[in-house]
Amino acid sequence: MNSFGRIFRVSIFGESHGPAVGIVIDGCPSGVALTADDFTTDIERRKGGTQKGTTPRQETDAPIFQTGIFRDKTTGAPLTIMFENKNTRSSDYEKQRSFPRPGHADFVASKKFGSNEDFRGGGHFSGRLTVCIVAAGVVAKKVLKNISVTAKILEIGGEQDLEKGLQKAIDAKDSVGGIVECTVTGLPIGLGEPFFDSVESLISHAAFSIPAVKGIEFGAGFQAAKMFGVDHNDAIIDANGRTATNNAGGVVGGISNGNDLVFRVAIKPTSSTPKEQESLNWETGEVEKFSIKGRHDLCIALRVPPVLEAVTAMVLADLMLLENKISRVAG
């Protein structure tokens, strides 16, 4: 379904080329101060066109508060925020309709929803909806108050020098992937459950809702698989549970341990590469060469950090409310 969270529950809706996209947040505490300005930074960070390698499509992306806000504060009723889709060029997509684009949802969406899906710009399967997730994240971060959630790019196209990685893509006239790391400081001990609702379970569930994420690892992650136990174990060094190292990434037995929550996600290269590709032509039934038109990012990973922060903040706001660490009446 298109909802996530048990107490702080976010629902997203919309299509790339419909009138609007948006979110409803149910269970948001009342009394959270909120104005359009609060959204500017993260929405700009997510937006294409300001960085080398991102799509020239420009949306104003001003949040429109529809419900749940009164006198610039949340009321405790469902909070609805919408974003108009102004700058769409559906004709780009009509032309490509005969080719289900490799790496995109075209083929599976058509199988799943039959002939009725809105194929324009990927429809509901569009990265456009991440603006909604970012907006939910802005609210969630405000709810979290003294907990900081920060994501940054570690690597582009296999290069830690990000300019270099991007230039590789430009030179190759192809798209590239990247790695993004998220760090959360200020978390209390005790969030999460031992099995099905471990912190890792919930964070990964949320992180894989971001298009193009293909892997996630906590703390030492995949490197842990190559370590000895005595090297991996984080020695506890004080009564607050602080550890000397943080190979666990802040989660032990599924539960937050009071150290920084640290995890990384792998972002695949943008599926819409400018390069010529081969794939099935639905009309001819043959595998043929074709090129993708439209405006696309060379490296979608550049836009991921605020989205990753957002889903992380959503999970944590939910857990903090669930564990009574945050009041449902904020102010």
Count CA atoms within 13 Å of residue 137 on its CB side.
29
Pair of tokens at residue 19: 């009138």
| Residue 224 sits in the site that holds its own copies (CB under 8 A) | yes
Least separation in angstroms between CB 44 and its own copies: 22
328 marked as part of a ligand binding site: no
Residues of span 157-196 touching its own copies by CB under 8 A: 157-158, 169, 172, 174-179, 189-190, 193-196
Residues 66-79 as b/e (b if ≥16 CB within 10 A, e otherwise) read eebbeeebbebebb
Residue with tokens 């390069």: 275
* Distance from C-alpha of 180 to C-alpha of 303, rounded to nearest angstrom: 10
Answer for which of 206, 262, 302, 308 binds its own copies (CB under 8 A) is: 206
Answer for which of 148, 167, 221, 294 binds its own copies (CB under 8 A) is: 221
How many C-beta neighbours within 10 Å does residue 237 have? 11
Pair of tokens at residue 134: 């970012």
Least separation in angstroms between CB 282 and its own copies: 8
Least separation in angstroms between CB 148 and its own copies: 21
- Tell me the residue length of the chain: 331
* Closer by beta carbon to its own copies, 149 or else 192: 192
| Strand-pair category, 178-185 with 261-267 | antiparallel
Q: For residue 91, what are the contacts with CB-CB under 8 A and spacing of at least 6?
A: none
Residues of span 225-284 touching its own copies by CB under 8 A: 225-239, 241, 243, 247-249, 252-258, 266-273, 275, 277-280, 282
What is residue 302's DSSP assignment? G
141 marked as part of a ligand binding site: no
| Residue 16 sits in the site that holds its own copies (CB under 8 A) | no
Least separation in angstroms between CB 235 and its own copies: 5
271 marked as part of a ligand binding site: yes
Residues 84-97 as b/e (b if ≥16 CB within 10 A, e otherwise) read ebeebeeeebeebe
121 marked as part of a ligand binding site: no
Least separation in angstroms between CB 222 and its own copies: 4
125 marked as part of a ligand binding site: yes
Looking at this protein, which amino acid is placed at residue 151?
A
270 marked as part of a ligand binding site: yes
* Closer by beta carbon to its own copies, 51 or else 288: 288
Least separation in angstroms between CB 145 and its own copies: 16
| Residue 294 sits in the site that holds its own copies (CB under 8 A) | no
CB 120 within 8 A of CB 90: yes
Q: Which stretch binds its own copies (CB under 8 A): 11-19, 54-62, 90-98, 142-150?
A: 11-19
Q: What's phi and psi for 104, nearest 5 deg?
A: -100, 175
CB 175 within 8 A of CB 273: yes
CB 307 within 8 A of CB 43: no
19 marked as part of a ligand binding site: no
* Distance from C-alpha of 185 to C-alpha of 259, rounded to nearest angstrom: 7
Least separation in angstroms between CB 83 and its own copies: 11
Residues of span 96-125 touching its own copies by CB under 8 A: 100, 102-105, 107-109, 111-118, 120, 122-125
Residues of span 48-77 touching its own copies by CB under 8 A: 66-71, 73-77
Binding site residue list for NADP(+): 46, 52
Which residue positions form the known binding site for FMN? 124-126, 253, 268-272, 295
Q: Which residues are annotated as a binding site?
A: 46, 52, 124-126, 253, 268-272, 295
